[in-house]
Structure 1
């Protein structure tokens, strides 16, 4: 999503022409609302919002895939039983509550 300088609007302008800005966003022209020359919010179409949400989901999936790949590459195959791990930490498995 590209926003050029013509698509920057002040909060004051957004308040006075919200209907027009919403119609333009619906037509695919996103607006970036500025307060004190800093981005405050974006007015985007539902399609753009859905696309951004999907990109966030894909980013999360990619992060998990990278983690899984790193773990697969570094896995030495060693496995430990619950009993061994509990003993290592001085815990009696019989004391573990199954709540």
Structure 2
């Protein structure tokens, strides 16, 4: 998956000549610019809509990685609430007998 759709490369010098207003106008029209210094990408100019899409895709990929990691490491073993309480020396009844924090 390409992060940018047909980005146009522009040097830092050309970007300076265009000015911020020109770069913003291009982004608003849907152009995606990659600013280069010595022919190496150093920055990108995209619309806020495209930035939102990229951030959403990043969050989705992070969630997918977490799901895949959990699926790969899941042994199938589940721990009940009663087992957890017992590990800490409690039962449901002993917790119910504790005074509320509001009291």
TM-score (norm 2): 0.67
Distance of aligned partners of 1:2 and 1:76 in 2 relative to their CA distance in 1, 3 Å threshold = closer
Equivalent position SS for 1:41:
strand
CA RMSD between the two structures: 2.1
> Residue in 1 aligned with 2:96?
none
Change (3 A) 1:27 1:77: same
Give the whole-Å Cα distance in 2 for the aligned partners of 1:53 and 1:11: 25
1:76 shift after superposition: 6.1
- Structure with the higher helix share, 1 or 2: 1
- Structure 1 unaligned spans of 5+: 83-99
The answer (yes or no) to whether the contact 1:3–1:32 under 8 Å persists in 2 is no
The TM-score, its normalising length taken from structure 1, stands at 0.69
Which among 43, 46, 50 is matched to residue 44 of structure 1?
Answer: 46
Q: Which moved more, 1:56-65 or 1:14-23?
A: 14-23
Cross-structure match for 1:3: 6
**Relative to structure 1, is the Cα distance of residues 42 and 77 closer, same or farther in structure 2, using a 3 angstrom cutoff?**
same
Which runs of 5 or more structure 2 residues have no equivalent in the other structure? 80-86, 89-103
Q: 2:63 maps to what in 1?
A: 61
Aligned residue in 1 for 2:24: 22
Distance across 1 between alignment mates of 2:33 and 2:15: 9
Deviation at 1:68, TM superposition (A): 1.2
Q: Which runs of 4+ in 1 moved over 2 A?
A: 76-79
